[in-house]
Chains A and B, each alone.
Chain A
Amino acid sequence: MKQALTAVVEDICRRYGNDRTRMMDIVIAVQRRLGCISVEAMECIANAVNSHRVEVESVVTFYSFLSVKPRGKVIIRLCKDIVDWMKGYEEVADAMAKELGVTMGETTADGALTLTHTPCIGMSDQAPAALVNDVVVPNLTPERGRQVVRELRRHLDPPQLVTMLGDGNNAHPLVHAMVRNNLRRRGPVHFSDFESPAGLEAALKRSPEEVVAEVRASRLRGRGGAGFATGMKWEFARNAPGQKRYVLCNADEGEPGTFKDRVLLTERPDQMFEGMTIAGYALGSDAGIVYLRGEYAYLQAFLEHVLAERRRRGWLGQDILGRKGFNFDIRIQLGAGAYVCGEETALISSCEGLRGDPKNRPPFPAEKGYLGCPTIVNNVETFSAVSRILEKGAAWFAGMGSERTTGTKLLSICGDCRKPGVYEVPFGITARELLDLAEADNPGAMLIGGPCRQMIGPERFSGRICYDDLATGGAILIFNRARNKLEIAEHYLDFFIHESCGHCTPCRVGLVLLKKAVHKVVSGAGEPADLDYMRRLSYIISQTSRCGLGQAAPNPVLGALENFKPLYADLVSDRKRGLLSTFDLSKAVVDSELRVGRLSRYV
């Protein structure tokens, strides 16, 4: 038994060159083979890659999809994001749990099936959805949930659940998914007439410096949400001293309510890979990595196929398009369930085979990134835009959008609307126009940019989507007037607590304290001073946290406090002086009776 395990693990490690920086690939492969990464397996990996068991354990225990203990052969991960919850998550969860005879988080007695939940899997336009191992099951109902369980009991083979294939490349044999693109509006940049290698050919007509200059002239800003000028980032990395440079693509689309990169990856992978190749040329880099979130593992085989095809055509590999000495190739790094890995330095850590902890800055990635080398990290949509900018020129791109935010933006719109899906719109469009496009149903609030940004009320629906007003990485969530904004804020706070890496004190501890305060108010035990306390604590967390996650995590609460003032205010009331509102005397008496094992009064 032990020998068999050793042989399997050693073989996997060898496949990755016994290279500890490929730890993510190794542990994912071990889990796929053996069901979990046991203590014995961790010891074996540590020996093979010349590391330590506790180092392997630190990686394995960081990622939600990895496990030290055995779990079911098939794992049903029900997506528990706010949109799923609005569309009936609880009923589906109940139905599936009953059918399985387990509670949430448990495995059936025969070790066959585990039922658990997970944050947003990028299917908010077809919620409630679940991941069954790597297979996406969208549009769940309680009946469909029961049916899924019954089928799985019969064959324990998730791919057999796929009945009706989705549109476009979702029906490609290597994708074979029930996912739908819901591409509602095509625009000129991403979903138009691009054909490889038009962007790359145009790039090779210029010098690398000229390519960077072209990207600068387009005034393209990072599409992941932070909006850093892409050309400037490239220039920093290009000018940084170093032998080797890396081009990383952030396909770890994890912001709840975002799914636009999923559609780009499905329908326009060439355009994205080409943008990376152009970056490789501009920076003098020969290696790129796409960090693909674990939730999108179902796209991996297809993306590998597209890469192989590009190599075959001479668009990747040695002497690309016949240009002597221009060598560039791309590998895909799969993630394993960690929102924080969308933060660029955490993404780099994960690619290096480490815990997905963000890194301290300075140094910045452009100077010292992946394996200590100058590195750029850009979003899927950013690379996709780069291909078009080189093909059609910076002026063409800069002619679209608003003055300070050029080009178009892909938005994933979901929630209370009739037409959830992906929309390519020019920057500068108003929130109200989006509500009309998506046919929103009695909208009372919008979350522009997901929970890491702020929730706005109707008085701000006239705001414009751009970096100077309503900034977004792509998520647009619509809530009707009946939705409880405070519950939504509390839900997202739970999400951030779950996804915090735990490195710095304010994020690790502060968020738990904030959650206590919010819960106290929402449960009706709050006093007016609690609102000030929540504001102050939120401010301390956002100011002193190390990375963007902690800095943004209080936003759902702050947004609800600032933009929906009466909601919290109505819940709090002045208590009698000296009376601690959270102290429940009768409950305390019962608790102490239980502890001492006798009644406190004689009856």
Chain B
Amino acid sequence: MSIATDAHDTASHDDGPVQTEHVGGEFDHAHKPDIYYVKIAIFLAVLTGMEVGLKYIDIGALFLPVLFILMAIKFVTVVLFFMHLRFDSKWFNMAFWVGLGLAVLIYSGALATFKFWSR
């Protein structure tokens, strides 16, 4: 019988955690051909161009929502693909997204306290 220990295999043991997650494996299948990253960079450059274009085009009340959506897409694209978080361990995901989520919650709350958003 063949038992494959894959990149995301985990096993817990009564005596404590057991190491079965393969760091090298994650690394290997996270890395794509160079052209894959070039395409992502072109996509990001186009989004940046759109953002800058919005500065000079009047789209009224849609300006802020569209700008925020473009910013969020760029942010998440870099994190998921360039930083490989899409392919990486849930622990790394947790470490980053919890920090980011806390920052957004805390400072949104703080700005709301100053009635920033109602100005």
Are A and B associated in one complex? Answer: no
State the A residues within 8 Å of B (CB).
none
